[in-house]
Amino acid sequence: MTETIINLETVNPIEFFGVNNSKFDILKKKFPLLKILSRGTQIKLSGAPEQIDLAKEKIDLIIQYMERNGHLSENYFEQILGGDDAETIDNFIDKNPNDVLVFGPNGKTVRARTANQKKMVQAADKNDIIFAIGPAGTGKTYTAVALAVRALKNKLVKKIILTRPAVEAGESLGFLPGDLKEKIDPYLRPLYDALDDMIPADKLGYYMTTRTIEIAPLAYMRGRTLDNAFIILDESQNANDLQIKMFLTRIGANAKAIITGDPTQVDLPRNQKSGLEKASRILQNIEGIAHIQLDEEDVVRHKLVKAIIKAYDKERENETENSYHR
């Protein structure tokens, strides 16, 4: 049996261990074969040398991240511990300042955090159309908006257009209170939230007033030609075949488009079929169009979101298997 001690002198031990040792408990569950003790600003590891080396490598990554960023959520803590390859360093230890997509208000940095989010960034540099498909919480929309804001700030485009299908969820738009904008805005709220993280309020207000940034329902795209623009179609699983085709054919000169969607969360009426699967299938292997698949490993929301996605995936597999035996 081998022992080693890791010092936490360069970081806040309370932040490292978490409230009521919540993060420390995650660490111990990740390495059940090790005896792990905390003593003040030190961590003592006892066990097999190869297990100690692996645990020390992960703890060192966490320390590096905290030295650079201060705060570390339980979700990121768990993601760093769960990384099994060298990409973990690139995902969480941002050694290159050029990795920052956007500097938001109050010095907030916005960057791709996971391997597949980084693939989105790389794809956007080389392609004009990107399909980013994956479950909730994987950062599809957030990364897409960050790429659009970066392009606008770097004067690569003249405007940003963000759009979503306005699919009714149990309530008819006609019976909701307010004018059309007030009725539509709840559908578009996630896009506003992302922009709030990346652009100061006064500047965002100016961009919206001058229509440099436009947020609108998908139906408003019909008949337009969108030049010199970065266009995002969010929640595309709620667009039918004709709507997605309409959107894709709006793209004009010097324009980029990102289509995000989650095929497992279709809110269309039963008599309508989502057009996302067909579009992503028939547009494979076309130069200039990239396809990025995100999964539960890219979840950057609450740690329980990852568990929820896995549970639903397992249930869907069981339902499919049972249907074959009927």
Q: Token pair for residue 296?
A: 């539960």
CA gap 243, 99 in Å, rounded? 34
Are residues 188 and 101 part of one domain?
A: yes
Which amino acid is it at 126? Answer: K
Q: How confident is the model at residue 85 (pLDDT cuts 50, 70, 90)?
A: very low
Tell me the per-residue pLDDT of 163-207, one tens digit each, with 9 for 90 and over.
988 765 433 445 445 555 565 667 677 888 889 889 988 999 999
Token output for 312: 């639903």
Tens of pLDDT, residues 244-280: 999 999 999 999 999 999 998 888 888 889 999 999 9
Mean pLDDT of 78-99: 58
Range of the domain at 15: 2-92
With respect to residue 34, please indicate whether it lies within any of the assigned structural domains: yes
DSSP state of 141: H
Here the tokens at position 125 are 């540099």
- Residues 67, 122 within the same domain: no
- Domain identity same for 222 and 286: yes
The residue with greater pLDDT, 184 or 132, is 132
pLDDT over 80 at 94, yes or no: no
**Pairing relation of β-strands 100-103 and 109-111?**
antiparallel
In this predicted structure, what is the pLDDT of residue 12? 85
The answer on 127 and 212 residing in a single domain is yes
Whether 54 and 127 share a structural domain: no
How do residues 26-79 score in pLDDT, each as one tens digit? 999 999 999 999 888 899 999 998 999 989 988 888 887 777 666 777 877 887
Structural element, H or E, at residue 241: helix 241-248
List all residues 6 or more positions away from 316 whose beta carbon is below 8 Å from its beta carbon. Answer: 264
Indicate if 304 and 157 belong to the same structural domain.
yes
Tokens linked to 140: 């599809």
On whether both 104 and 217 belong to a single domain, the answer is yes
Domain boundary among 77, 92, 107: 92
Domain count within the chain: 2
Phi-psi region of 289 (alpha: psi -120 to 50; beta: other; left: phi over 0): beta
229 in a domain, yes or no?
yes
Residues with Cβ within 8 Å of residue 225, at least 6 apart in sequence: 250, 252
- pLDDT number for residue 318: 76
What dihedral angle (degrees, nearest 10) is formed by the CA atoms of 225, 230, 236, 238? -60
Specify the 3-state DSSP secondary structure of 131.
strand
Query: Is 280 inside a domain boundary?
Result: yes
User: CA–CA separation, 69 vs 77, rounded Å?
Assistant: 13
Enter the tokens of residue 109. Answer: 């940095």
- pLDDT at residue 169, rounded to an integer: 42
Q: What's the Cα-to-Cα distance from 147 to each of 125, 140, 155, rounded to whole Å?
A: 9, 11, 12
Do 60 and 109 lie in one domain? The reply is: no
Counting Cα atoms < 13 Å in the Cβ hemisphere of 281 gives 7
Do 151 and 137 belong together in one domain? yes
Which CATH number do you get for residue 311? 3.40.50.300
Q: Classify 20 as helix, strand or coil.
A: helix
- Specify the pTM: 0.66
Of 66, 92, 118, the residue at which a domain comes to its end is 92
Q: What count of residues does the chain have?
A: 326
Name the percent of the chain lying above pLDDT 70: 82
DSSP codes of every residue in 163-203:
EE----SSS-GGGSSS-HHHHHHHHHHHHHHHHHHHS-HHH
| Least confident segment among 5-14, 30-39, 149-158, 174-183 | 174-183
- What is residue 60's DSSP assignment? H
Rounded Cα distance, 69 and 78, in Å: 16
CATH number for position 46: 3.30.1370.10
Residues 248 and 179 occupy one common structural domain: yes
Listed residues 71, 92, 113: the one ending a domain: 92
Q: Are residues 237 and 146 in the same domain?
A: yes
- How far is the CA of 275 from the CAs of 138, 141, 169, 184, 324, in angstroms? 21, 18, 18, 22, 25
User: Strands, DSSP E only, in the chain?
Assistant: 2-7, 35-39, 42-47, 100-103, 109-111, 129-133, 159-164, 213-217, 229-233, 256-261, 289-293
Is 176 domain-assigned? yes
Q: Is 322 helix (H, G, I), strand (E, B) or coil?
A: helix
d(CA 281, CA 269): 22
Residue 254 DSSP code = T
165/229 same-domain check: yes
| 326 domain-assigned | no
